[in-house]
Chains A and B, each alone.
Chain A
Amino acid sequence: MESEEHRANPLHWVIYLGVVVSVVGPLVPQFVWPFVKSWFFPDLVPSAWSMRAWQYIGNPNSQVLEAVGNSLLIAVIVTCISVLLGVPAGKALGMYRFRGKGLVELFILAPSIIPGLAVTMGIHVIFIRLGLSDTLMGVVLVHLIPTIPYMTISMSGIFANYDPDFEEQAKSLGASTFKTFFIITLPAIFPGIITGAMFAFLISWGQYLLTVLIGGGRIITLPLLLFSFAGSRDNAFMSALSVIFLLPAILILFFTSKFLSGKSSGMGGFGNI
């Protein structure tokens, strides 16, 4: 039923226009600058074009390819560990009631709310002592601080809506615990795992501060290069890197947009703090 009340009026159109302009507007110049040679004030269109930013990126000396490789490797490892740890913990929180549950929830949530800067500065001495600072493994470990809580909380949201009766039925029909997990549980929670994993990947992929603190500038990732170019204000290089940096986010958005709209399973769990 479409009543007059449900249709947009001119004021709503102003809001839609405002949303589109202020979301898309700041992203547009980033897609133009990577191909620019010169673009002076007050020109609205560049006066000369060039591919030098891309040539520089393709050049092995620029460290860009190395950084992309490191960023991918770190984010993939971090995502796998977060899934392996977060799914069981999410199950415990989503499906069981037990004494001290509120405390456990608060404990798991804390690292995603307390500033990562404070925790990482503190842990740095331990990492130095254990030989983990300036290493890829150290960076992976420290990226787990924000990703494991995220994964656990979003999985607990998924498990809270999951009906355990199917598992009981499978078990009563003689299926083993492992078989039950792979045939019954996994297919039911799989979309939730994928969504959570993609966001865990993005959290690791976008991490600058934790990487620079623990990696000590030895482990070069894409955000580190992006940061140094942003500091030097070379718009062409900065924008080209930014576009590469943006790609996984856009891919993931296309995959997850149907999960996000309406009931957001990925973020629903945060309603419990």
Chain B
Amino acid sequence: MTKRTTITLLLFPTMAVLVFLFFGGIAMGLMQSFSFMPLIGLNNFNFDAYRNLFSDSEFLLSLGLTLWISISSTILTVVFAIITALAFRKTFPGKRLTNFIYQFPITIPHIVITIGTMLIFSQSGIVARFAYKAGLISDQSQFPILISDTLGLGIIYVYLWKQIPFVGVLVLSILQSLGNNFEELARSLGANKWQAFRHVLLPTIIPGILPASIICFSFTFGSYEVPFLLGKPYPAVISVLAMRLYQDVDLNARPQAMATAVFMAAFISVLVVLYKKLLNSMSGRR
């Protein structure tokens, strides 16, 4: 068996399934977004859905909200992942257990922490009860609205809860493979703690966690479950909007649902391509 045949045989089943499911899905989505749906007797071909999409104020509001939630949760994830990983590098009594708790969220499904967030941060939740007992509020309606709020704070909390350990574990392994040598060298050359972090650790950590940050961003951009349960119905994030259009009994809403979905896929694809370009130009300069 030649090497080429071996590789082809090894890759074929996976490629075949993915071509059918993934590219089939994308192709059918594209066709339907052009109002081309022979299955329900629509044989048009036009760009109406896209024209409607970008003139629809609800879509633009949704896009803004989605970008706000995904950008802020990705940035906060990276910041907290670095802070916590730096702290977890130290030795302290109870480190094994604390480290276990730190990594715990990685396997927990999103829906579980979504429900947990509802139970503690709603106006009748545990935090509001503690606030009442502490005399900070005199009625539950005085507790700030953190669930189904305008800024999507509950949603961001869930993403941070899930993603900080995911990125944090990566940062920890980068720090471990780096060892203390470079940092100590910098310190011995007169750099203070902040300078050693800023000029030695950070430039090593950031490229290592860029792929993970892209994954976090695209996940939060396309996720449905969390914003559906913890978000406001209007404006809703883009995935919730797409799903509402898709489930509309009026099949004329279908092309616009598909255009929204195609937009989401295209947006993430462009992002990944830009990231790849950035990566290539960075390695080209070295």
Contacts and interface: CB of A to CB of B under 8 A. Distances in A.
Nearest to A19: B102
Interface stretch (A2-10, A52-60, A166-174, A184-192): A2-10
A214 B173 CA distance: 39
Contacts of A273: 211, 214-215, 272, 275
Nearest to B108: A249
A264 B15 CA distance: 26
Given A13-B92, A114-B268, A270-B215, A202 B109 contact: yes
Interface string B48-69: 0000000000000000000000
A11 B87 CA distance: 9
B228 to A, nearest CB: 8
Contacts of A252: 107
B170 A267 contact: yes
Interface string A59-70: 000000000000
Interface string B154-184: 0000000100001001101100100010000
A27 B7 contact: no
B194 interface: no
Determine the main DSSP class of B at the interface with A: helix
Interface in B24-38: 24-30, 32, 37
A267 B169 contact: yes
Contacts of A114: 22, 26, 218, 222, 265, 268-269
A89 B13 contact: yes
Contacts, number: 292
Contacts of B6: 92, 96
Nearest to B271: A113
A107 B17 CA distance: 12
B14 A25 contact: no
Nearest to B214: A273
Contacts of A145: 18, 21-22, 25
A129 to B, nearest CB: 7
Contact of B18 (A113, A115, A149): A149
B161 A23 contact: yes
Interface in B93-116: 98-116
Contacts of B115: 30, 226, 230, 238-239, 242
B78 interface: no
B225 interface: yes
B71 interface: no
Contacts of A117: 222, 224, 239, 242-243, 261, 264
A2 B11 CA distance: 49
A149 B15 CA distance: 10
B123 to A, nearest CB: 8
Given A16-B92, A33-B119, A226-B111, A89 B24 contact: no
B103 A260 contact: yes
A122 B9 CA distance: 28
A interface, size bucket? 35 or more
Contact of A119 (B25, B105, B130): B25
Contacts of B91: 2, 6-8
B14 A88 contact: yes
Contact of A85 (B3, B13, B222): B13
B104 A253 contact: yes
A85 B75 CA distance: 35
Interface of A: 2, 5-9, 11-13, 15-16, 19-20, 22-30, 33, 41-44, 84-86, 88-89, 91-93, 96, 98, 104, 107-108, 110-126, 128-129, 141-142, 144-145, 148-149, 152, 199, 202, 205-206, 208-209, 213, 223, 226-227, 230-231, 235, 238-239, 242, 245-246, 249-250, 252-253, 256-257, 260-264, 267, 270-273
Interface of B: 3-4, 6-7, 9-11, 13-15, 17-18, 21-22, 24-30, 32, 37, 39, 83-84, 87, 89-92, 98-120, 124-126, 128-130, 132-133, 140, 161, 166, 169-170, 172-173, 176, 180, 208, 211-212, 214-215, 218, 221-225, 229, 239, 242-243, 246, 257-258, 261-262, 264-265, 268-269, 272, 275
